[in-house]
Amino acid sequence: MKIGAWILAARPKTLPAAIAPVLVGAALAAHDGVFETAPAVICLFFALLIQIGTNFANDYFDFVQGADTEERIGPTRAVAAGLISPAAMRTATILVLVLAFCVGLALVFWGGWWLVAIGLLSIVCAVAYTGGPYPLGYNGLGDVFVFIFFGLVAVGFTYYVQAGSFSTVAWLLGAGVGALSTNLLVVNNYRDVDTDRVAGKRTLVVRFGRPVAWTQYCASVLLAFGIPASLALTGFGVTLFMPLIMTPFAIFLCVLLKRSRTRADFQLVLAQTAKLLLFYSGLVSIGLVL
């Protein structure tokens, strides 16, 4: 099997959603003087594997449930395009998520055995996003999954395994990262609304329409940028105003999403939304460290 097909299935443009929260959680730990390299790196590998496993599962289950068809205008999906067999993708999904669990087990040394439950829940939800008896993504709960696990949980627990305690600031920053991570899903669902409707995939865009989805995208941007600005005003210092440098770019993306019609349009918005997430998280992290 060609390596290119597996890279395609891993969806590299979505990987900033795994990197960003770990970066912010580690930066907050550095700000508080509790940063530890080993647990931070383990968190990063765990998050990346969960993201890739979720993408593999999504590729497999969307094909099985008929959501990926020739009418879909999004990027090529490996199973639907015949690049990878359904059986191979199912096996790869299991292997990646098992590897994620094994990597995550190392965090028990810093956070205790109860973290096993969080790891297992993350893995179950990665599969349940598009698989199982009640797929989250098919019932309008995909946004909630991304916000919680690639925002609150990823930032909050990255901080926890280094500091040994939770932080209200970590949850707030997690909400900001989670909001922008959710926008990656909003773009996908905004693009695929017609084929999702036919396949019975009741995303929030299918339920409420593109105008509401566009409003959600813009509101998520406002929330994300408002959080570090609020922290800057309440004692964290002016360096947390740094993410506001990206405001014109964020406004541009809001306009671009509304005007998008073609495959190329949506690919551009998705790639640039991922870039916004990564740059935002980088600027928040730099602001925290400084």
Amino acid 204: pLDDT: 94
Residue 134: is it exposed, middle or buried by C-beta count within 10 angstroms (0-12/13-18/19+)?
exposed
- List the beta strands (DSSP E) in the chain: none
Which positions of the chain have pLDDT values less than 70?
1, 66-74
3-state secondary structure of 164: coil
Closest Cα partner for 279 from 10, 3, 24, 7? 24
What tens digit of pLDDT does each residue of 233-245 get? 998 889 999 999 9
Amino acid 72: pLDDT: 59
Query: Is the distance from CB of 221 to CB of 254 less than 8 angstroms?
Result: yes
Rounded Cα gap, residues 44 and 54, in angstroms: 15
Amino acid 71: pLDDT: 57
Phi, psi angle pair for 209, to nearest 5°: 95, 165
Amino acid 198: pLDDT: 86
Domains and CATH numbers, the chain: 3-289 (1.10.600)
Amino acid 221: pLDDT: 98
Count of all residues that appear for the chain in the document: 290
Query: Is the distance from CB of 78 to CB of 9 less than 8 angstroms?
Result: yes
Regarding pTM above 0.85, the answer is yes
Rounded Cα gap, residues 272 and 171, in angstroms: 25
Amino acid 206: pLDDT: 94
